[in-house]
Structure 1
Amino acid sequence: MAEPVTIARPYAEAAFRLAREQNALSAWSDALALINAVVADAQVGALIDAPNVEAAQLEGVIVGAVGKHLSGEARNFVQVLVQNRRLGLIAQIRDMFEALRREHEGTMEATVVSALPLADGQLQPLMTALEKKYGRKITAKVELDPQLIGGLKILVGDKVIDATVRGRLDAMAAALTH
């Protein structure tokens, strides 16, 4: 059986091509996020997995919840996902769409994980340094993880910069045991 990411890729690419042709990347990002939020609901998730729920019923639930916020093309996209039983892949489709959008716009997303909330002015110099390193505009998503004890972990693309106390302690423990 194919990996979900492999199955999701053609849908993300098709949505991206259509959004780019319509000059509506932002609107499609919003639509995919909205559809994903509805599908992430436990009750809707149960409907997706239920074999006795007809495609038309499921489509009615999704379009009924968000239809007024979707373009005709986005509603058609939901219809295709439902008919092909791929609605459960919307999170992967949205993530791939966003990756394609960032690549198209020449930007990257960095996830900055910190043990404590960052003070005003701490994030901007970090983003400036990352932009200089990668030669692209960087948008930041900040997350808190008290398990890190201190420092930062930065994820940019497939790169991880671990400058955390937890990371250093783990490295020391590994060095002592080998």
Structure 2
Amino acid sequence: MAENVTLARPYAEAAFQLAKGSSTDLASWAETLARLSNITTDPVMEECIGNPQFNPAQLAQLYFEAAGGHLSADQQNFIRVLVDNNRLTVLPEIAALFDELKADAEGIKHAEITSAFPLDDATLKNLVAELERKFSCQIQATIKLDPELIGGVRMAVGDEVIDASVRGKLAAMAIALKN
């Protein structure tokens, strides 16, 4: 998968630059790339992409029709470039990288909050508010449950992890006792 991300990065950055400089907004491009990603992962479309009987113009037209005719001229040209360079299969990675670029531009960071038990709304709002204060940005949180944490929460924002779980504290104590 790392290879696909490497292949997708310049296309995601190009799409982002196109979106910033066009009449369509970033949200429209994100939505379109997500839709095109779903089209790409459809088993029938995967078969068409790998079929040498489809020439590039036919494959691009197939994408335009599958998208329901809701593509701007820049988006159509973007698809043509992907077709010409045999990069349609990395559309899911392009969409994910575009979403990251969009979030960065909008000052939004993604946080993954893992809890041993379900969090009530008030607790979740407090955690998100604390993270927003700490990172000075808007936070979009996803919640996961992991009973192995025993208690507490583990929060990951980008490369930074804040481990306030019982399991994490026990591991830290075990390391301290060994030293």
- Which TM-score band (shorter chain)? 0.7 to 0.9
Q: Does 1:89 align with 2:90?
A: yes
For 2:21, the equivalent position in structure 1 comes to 21
Structure 2 residues without counterparts, runs of 5 or longer: none
Aligned in 2, Cα 1:51/1:147: closer, same or farther, shift over 3 Å?
farther
- Structure 2 distance, partners of 1:177, 1:99, is 41
- Structure 1 distance, partners of 2:130, 2:140, is 12
Cα shift readout 1:57-116 (whole Å, capped 9, x = no counterpart): 432332222132322221221221122111111122112212222222222111223454
List, as ranges, runs of 4+ consecutive aligned residues in structure 1 with deviation greater than 4 Å: 144-150, 164-178
What's the offset of the Cα at 1:166? Answer: 5.6
Greater shift after overlay, 40-49 or 5-14? 40-49
What is the TM-score normalised by the length of structure 2? 0.79
- Structure 1 distance, partners of 2:90, 2:131, is 31
What's the offset of the Cα at 1:129? Answer: 0.8
For 1:160, the equivalent position in structure 2 comes to 161
- Structure 1 distance, partners of 2:39, 2:171, is 39
Aligned in 2, Cα 1:53/1:170: closer, same or farther, shift over 3 Å?
farther
- Structure 1 distance, partners of 2:109, 2:69, is 31
Q: Does 1:74 align with 2:106?
A: no
Aligned in 2, Cα 1:84/1:136: closer, same or farther, shift over 3 Å?
same
Greater shift after overlay, 122-131 or 148-157? 148-157
Structure 1 residues without counterparts, runs of 5 or longer: none
Aligned in 2, Cα 1:144/1:83: closer, same or farther, shift over 3 Å?
farther
Question: Aligned with 2:122: secondary structure?
Answer: coil
- Structure 2 distance, partners of 1:42, 1:153, is 37
Greater shift after overlay, 111-120 or 98-107? 111-120
